[in-house]
Amino acid sequence: MNMDYNLYKIFLYLYEERSISKTASKLYVSQPAISYSLKELENSLGYTLFTRNSKGIEPTLEATELYNYISTAFDILKDAEEHVKNLNNLNVGTIRIGSPSHIGALYLTKYIDKFSKNYPNIKFEIISKSMPEMVEMLETRKLDMLIGILPINTEKKLSKVNLNEVYNCFAYNKKLLPNLKIKKCLDLLKYPLILPRSKTPYRNKLDDYMETRNIRLEPYIEVSTTEVGLEMVRKGMGIGYFIIDSITSQPDKEDYEIIVFDDLPTIDISLVYIDEYTSIAAKKFIDSIKKS
């Protein structure tokens, strides 16, 4: 059955007004047009909706049953329209950002702070998981965007905004490992290494750098997130490989020895998103970053 929403709108007014003339007046149409529409709806449904009496019209039992459903449906439509208006005006909404480590959020802080001052009703949710999990969440619309290091393994077409070029380092807990002596890259092979997972863009850049020096790093432990690596290094389990800012932003940063070799590869931190999946609020946020 093809639904004509105008017919149901007329039906709602007829049911509530109990009058063809009052319905016509409220909808700014002629009485014959109202009567015609009512007859059209009754023919479509196959039963009578109203009977006439001296006071006007009286709904049948079928009309009352229909009204209970149709009035609810129109209430939902009104709520949906109001919600969309609020979305367009940025009065409601949540922007979900995936960050495989806390460090990504650091590069967004100034943008989030500025955006929140202009749109205080928009909430932010920062989700921290491994990159493969983040990519899957982005592909299934559970994230609006994510912070990552390119390239990102997905068949979806990604758009990006470059946030920052960052520097890397090796680091260890000098209080718990006071006797380490590292002057050159080869010295790393003497100690347990805590490195990012193999085959990730972050790890690939490190491996390529070491390969130019005929060095192959054999990690003691591979980790999926910066947080896990930091916790292991904090406990003195070995030497980790990190973005420098992830060390210098720690409250116990004085406990770490930071090692930087010449030409250790830098990385670009990017904000990536799937344009057709991006919410109104998220698009506005991305635009604000581009304009900064």
> Which amino acid type is present at position 161?
V
Given its phi and psi angles, is residue 98 left (phi above 0), alpha (psi -120 to 50 degrees) or beta? beta
pLDDT band at 1 (very low <50, low <70, confident <90, very high): very low
State the Cα–Cα distance between residues 74 and 15, nearest whole angstrom: 14
- Dump pLDDT digits (tens) for 195-243: 999 988 889 999 999 999 999 999 999 998 888 999 999 999 999 999 9
Q: What average pLDDT does range 267-292 have in this prediction?
A: 90
pLDDT at 3: 64
pLDDT at 254: 95
pLDDT at 100: 75
Task: Tell me the average pLDDT of the chain.
Answer: 89
State the Cα–Cα distance between residues 223 and 232, nearest whole angstrom: 10
Looking at per-residue pLDDT, the higher value among 89 and 132 belongs to: 132
pLDDT at 149: 83
∠ CA 224-226-230 to the nearest 5 degrees? 120
For the chain, helix (H) and strand (E) counts, in that order, are 10, 12
Topology, domain 5-79: Arc Repressor Mutant, subunit A (1.10.10)
Express as a percent the part of the chain with pLDDT over 90: 58
Domain ranges, ordered by start, for the chain? 5-79, 94-165+269-291, 168-265
pLDDT at 103: 64
Q: What average pLDDT does range 61-71 have in this prediction?
A: 91
Express as a percent the part of the chain with pLDDT over 70: 95
State the Cα–Cα distance between residues 111 and 289, nearest whole angstrom: 6
Closest CA to 129 of 143, 109, 114: 143
Neighbours of 288 (CB within 10 A): 15
pLDDT band at 129 (very low <50, low <70, confident <90, very high): confident
Q: What average pLDDT does range 258-284 have in this prediction?
A: 90
Q: Do 5-79 and 94-165+269-291 share a fold? A: no
CA torsion, points 14, 18, 19, 20, in degrees to nearest 10? 30
pLDDT band at 116 (very low <50, low <70, confident <90, very high): very high
CATH code of the domain made up of 94-165+269-291 = 3.40.190.10
State the Cα–Cα distance between residues 281 and 89, nearest whole angstrom: 9
Query: Residue 20: which residues within 8 A CB-CB, separation 6 or more?
Result: 14, 31, 34, 35, 38, 56, 57
- Dump pLDDT digits (tens) for 28-41: 999 999 999 999 99
Range scoring the smallest mean pLDDT among 13-17, 61-65, 86-90, 182-186: 86-90
pLDDT at 87: 66
Topology, domain 168-265: D-Maltodextrin-Binding Protein; domain 2 (3.40.190)
Looking at per-residue pLDDT, the higher value among 164 and 207 belongs to: 207
Q: What average pLDDT does range 166-176 have in this prediction?
A: 95
pLDDT at 267: 87
Which pTM was predicted?
Answer: 0.62
